[in-house]
Structures are given as C-alpha cells and as structure tokens.
C-alpha cells in the first residue's frame, strides 16, 4: 500500500503538461483526480518513474455551451458534472451518470478526462460518451486532434491516445430531445457496475461487457429495423465478450445486459 519511488512533476498549464510528458514519454503517467492511478501505484501494479500532476491546471476545468454542442474540460470533476445546470438541461444522461460514479469523495476528486483516458471498461462515463457520440480532443507536441468516441477505445485499458498526448476536452453534441436512461447494476452503491447501460434515444452503449466500453450495435440495428423494445433488448449481448470476475460470470452478465437494455429503452421512451 506504499508506492514505489517516483519523481513528481506539477504541470502549470496544459501546454506545460504536454512538454513534461514529452520529456518522459512512456515513463510518465498523468495524474488528474488520482482515483485510478494512485490505488494502482499503492498496490505497485503501476510503477511510473514520473508522475505529472495536472490537478491544478484550471484551464481544463469547464463546461461550456457551444450552441449545438457542449464542451467539457478534461479536468472537470464528476461532482461538477452532476451539479451543472447546463448539463441537467442539455445532457441529463451525462449529469445523471456522473452522479452514479463511486461515492461523494470519489466524485469530488475524479475527473471526466481521467475516467475516459484510463480506459476501464467497468467505468460509467466511457459508455455514456459512446452513447452520446462525443468527440474527444487531445493535445500533443504537434498540436491538437479530435478523436470520435467510437474510435477512442482500442482494448483493455488501451485508448487512441499517444503516450505524449493529453486529453483536454470532450465535445458532446446536444441530442435532439430524445429520451435517455442510465442503468447501473451493482451489489453496493459504491461499486463499479457489474453491467451498465447508457441509452440516449436509440443509441445504446454497454459498461463492462467486454475489454472496452462498446455500443450495443445489434440492439441499435434491430430498433432501426422496427423491432420492439423487448425483441431488440434480447440482442444486447451479441458481439460482446463479458468478463468473468468475483461479481459475475459471462452468462449472468449477458442476461443482465438484456434485462438492463430493455429497462433502459423502456425508461428512455416513457
């Protein structure tokens, strides 16, 4: 429960952070809210040589109305997402899901950027940005680039970010009045989802049903083809590779995905 020795560097700005990770490359880890990285370091499952702390880069903490989309700074805390009037109005799915992450202490420290960039398929927000078809903005030594959420997750804890890139912003299109639902199935309120479902209109994404967060494409296709909610939900586990862990085996997760997708679609259409 005590991390191995590391060098601590504090970034004063987003550009400074990019410079610092550029200097250290693979040896460096970015520290935002610390709720994923620090536990891994304490267990010595992560042993970075350098920790670049971006926790005080205030320019990356914002929620802005850009007209047809909302821009959210990567360092925006879950608590701020949960309590944003703008999000409550325009992106209630995101505000609600942020309020389901961990417990109040976690939500006051954890950030949307950290959650998205960590790439844990059991996290809530990655599935939410998939269902919302968000765009992620990364800054590197060669400037910024935009990555569609659908292209962001590559594998277990693996994203499209380069080692010298920093996730700075999430841009989320405002959905056109469609209903939404977030179903998080846990044993305890503070747990990661055993399975979760984020639905925005007919777009459905799954939490913890494979090595990455993923869209329930078979469900979406069935809905597009005019299937009933009941029938479409039956296809929720198609194309998934649910893990086996202490909470559930794959068969139970597949069952949960079908039940939760049905409930999500029923709720979002109610």
Minimum distance, C-beta of residue 261 to another protein, in the bound complex (Å): 12
Contacts of 53 (CB under 8 A, 6+ apart): 8, 9, 10, 11, 31
Residue 191 within binding range of another protein, rule CB under 8 A: yes
Q: Per-residue x/- marks for another protein, 150-189, CB under 8 A?
A: -----------------------------------x-xxx
Nearer to another protein, 69 or 247 (CB): 247
Least Å distance, CB 73 to another protein, is: 28
CA dihedral 109, 159, 210, 208 (to 10 degrees): 10
Least separation, in Å, of the C-beta of 209 and another protein? Answer: 15
Question: By rule CB under 8 A, what count of residues binds another protein?
Answer: 21
Q: How far is the CB of 212 from another protein (least distance, A)?
A: 20
Compute the radius of gyration of the chain from its Cα atoms. 18
Scanning 2-10, 66-74, 75-83, 222-230 for contacts with another protein by CB under 8 A, the matching segment is 2-10
Q: Is 104 in the site for another protein (CB under 8 A)?
A: no
Q: Does the protein bind another protein through residue 43 (CB under 8 A)?
A: yes
Chosen residue from 156, 190, 228, 241 binding another protein by CB under 8 A: 190
CB 43 → another protein: shortest distance, Å?
7
DSSP string, the chain: --PPP-EEEE-SSHHHHHHHHHHHGGGEEEESS-TTHHHHHHTTS---SEEEE-TT-GGG--EEE-SSEEEEETT-BHHHHHT-HHHHHH-HHHHHHHTTSS-HHHHHH-BHHHHHHHT-TT-HHHHHHHHTT-EEEEEETTEEEEEEHHHHEEETTEES--TT-EEEEEEEEPP-S--EEEEEE-SSTTSPPSEEEEEETTEEEEESSSSS-EE-HHHHHHHHTT--HHHHHTTTTTT------SS--HHHHHHHHHHHHHHHHHHHH-
Q: What are phi and psi of 76, to 5 degrees?
A: -70, 130
Among the listed residues 248, 257, 261, 264, the single contact to another protein using CB under 8 A: 248
Among the listed residues 1, 85, 176, 270, the single contact to another protein using CB under 8 A = 1
CB of 194 to another protein, least distance (A): 7
Task: Pick the closer one to another protein by CB: 61 or 247.
Answer: 247
Task: Based on the shown chain and the rule CB under 8 A, indicate whether residue 25 belongs to the binding site for another protein.
Answer: no
**Residue 247 sits in the site that holds another protein (CB under 8 A):** yes
Query: Min. distance of Cβ 182 from another protein in angstroms?
Result: 16
Longest dimension (CA), the chain: 58
Q: Where does this chain bind another protein (CB under 8 A)?
A: 1-2, 4-5, 39, 43, 185, 187-191, 194, 246-249, 252, 255-256, 259
């Amino acid at each position: 429960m005590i991390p191995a020795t590391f060098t601590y560097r504090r970034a004063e700005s987003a550009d400074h952070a990019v410079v610092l990770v550029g200097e250290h490359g693979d040896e460096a880890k970015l520290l935002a809210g610390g709720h994923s990285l620090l536990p891994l370091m304490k267990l010595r499952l992560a042993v970075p040589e350098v920790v670049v702390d971006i926790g005080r880069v205030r320019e990356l903490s914002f929620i802005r109305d850009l007209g047809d989309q909302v821009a959210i700074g990567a360092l925006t805390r879950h608590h701020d997402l949960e309590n944003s009037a703008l999000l409550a109005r325009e992106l209630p799915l995101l505000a609600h899901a942020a309020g389901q992450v961990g417990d109040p202490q976690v939500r006051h420290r954890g950030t949307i950027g950290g959650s998205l960039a960590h790439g844990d398929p059991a996290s809530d927000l990655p599935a939410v940005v998939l269902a919302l078809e968000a765009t992620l903005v990364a800054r590197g030594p060669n400037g910024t680039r935009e990555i569609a959420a659908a292209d962001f997750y590559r594998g277990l804890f693996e994203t499209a970010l380069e080692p010298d890139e920093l996730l700075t912003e999430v841009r989320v299109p405002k959905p056109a009045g469609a209903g939404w639902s977030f179903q998080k199935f846990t044993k305890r309120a503070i747990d990661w989802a055993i399975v979760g479902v984020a639905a925005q209109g007919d777009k459905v994404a799954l939490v913890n049903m494979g090595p990455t967060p993923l869209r329930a494409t078979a469900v979406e296709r069935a809905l597009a083809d005019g299937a009933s909610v009941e029938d479409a939900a039956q296809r929720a586990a198609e194309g998934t590779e649910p893990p086996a862990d202490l909470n559930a085996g794959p068969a139970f997760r597949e069952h949960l995905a079908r039940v939760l997708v049905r409930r999500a679609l029923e709720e979002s259409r109610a």
